[in-house]
Amino acid sequence: MVTPAPLRRSVVAVALSGALLAGGTACSSTGARNTAAPQAAHASPTSTAQKQKLAKTRFIANAGLAAGATYQWIVKPYKKGKFKKGANGRTFTVIKAGLAGTFAYNRLKAALKNAKGDPLLSKAVAPLTAGVASLKSLPSKLRKGDGNAASTFDGVINSVKDAGKSAGADVKDKVPSTGQLSGG
């Protein structure tokens, strides 16, 4: 029996997206954390002021990457209607959005951890912990094509950016490479 082409493509797309998301989640949760750890282990002892500055710098970097990924691969396609059923390239857009959502969640968790190193920043960002935690389930909603997940991601990102700005840590969007998204 020969399977019709649209059905074959759907089965392949689902299998591919599952493999990509499983690999992206595993790689991004370990690979992104290990980049700063070796540098910190070899650094000389630093003063409290320097540690606070590094915490703020890391917060800005992590929050910027999360914001860039969210805007580039979740918000922009959502605004263009790429998540709607029947949209051209919807499957690939949803796969990229799922990866971007997982990446953004990971970077936001790292940013909140970084914020704890700066007293002013930790007070500004602490109320957002629950909002970031709520993003954990959104990548799966994005993969299912739920457009409301895109606006939720955007809202949490904007809240983190606003809290950072109020503490003197102005976050700018920084679009990560595709390799960074997949944890490579």
Q: Could you read off the pLDDT of 80-139 as tens digits, one per residue? A: 988 888 889 988 988 888 888 889 999 999 999 999 988 889 898 888 888 888 888 887
Q: Are residues 63 and 111 in contact, defined by beta-carbon separation less than 8 angstroms?
A: yes
**12/10 Cα distance (integer angstroms):** 5
Residue 39 clears pLDDT 70, i.e. is over it: no
Please give the backbone phi and psi of residue 154, each rounded to the nearest 5 degrees, phi first: -60, -40
pTM for the model stands at 0.69
Q: Taking the CA atoms of the chain, what radius of gyration do you get in angstroms? A: 18
Q: How many helices (H) and strands (E) does the chain have?
A: 10, 0
